[in-house]
Amino acid sequence: MSPEKLKGKVISVLKLIYDPEIPVDIYNLGLIYEIKLDEEGNIDLTMTLTAPNCPVADNIVQEVYEKILQIENVKTVNINLVFDPPWTPTMASEVAQLQLGML
């Protein structure tokens, strides 16, 4: 599978994962900062959460890990959880901002 196609599958999976307190998926919410992958199917994902003290942080990160690992041709998943730059609602896509009543 080409890296572009695999990246598209990763994004599709990320759009199925929601922060339990916000009715928007984590991809459109802007919590995914970077997706890197190589020809062998190794995924490096940099993400954040809406707040450093998010009570479900471990659950969200684990769900991201497990769902990406289930994608065909994915060999490894490495998640780098960062809080710099800190997430702000302006990082959300226009669709998400509309859903959250920000537009």
- The 10s digit of each residue's pLDDT in 31-73 is 999 999 998 999 999 999 998 888 888 899 999 999 999 999 9
* 103 in any annotated domain: no
- Any bridge partners for residue 78, and if so which? 44
Backbone conformation region of residue 101, classed left if phi is above 0, alpha if psi is from -120 to 50, else beta = left
Q: Determine the structural domain holding residue 79 and report its residue range.
A: 3-98
pLDDT given at position 32: 98
Contact 31, 89 (CB under 8 A): no
Domains in the chain: how many in total?
1
Would you state the structure tokens that stand for residue 37, as one six-digit string? 């992958």
The CATH code of the domain that includes 89 is: 3.30.300.130
Across all residues in the chain, what is the average pLDDT? 93
Nearest to 26 by CA among 16, 41, 34, 35: 16
Residue 55: C-alpha distances to residues 7, 51, 52 (Å) = 28, 9, 9
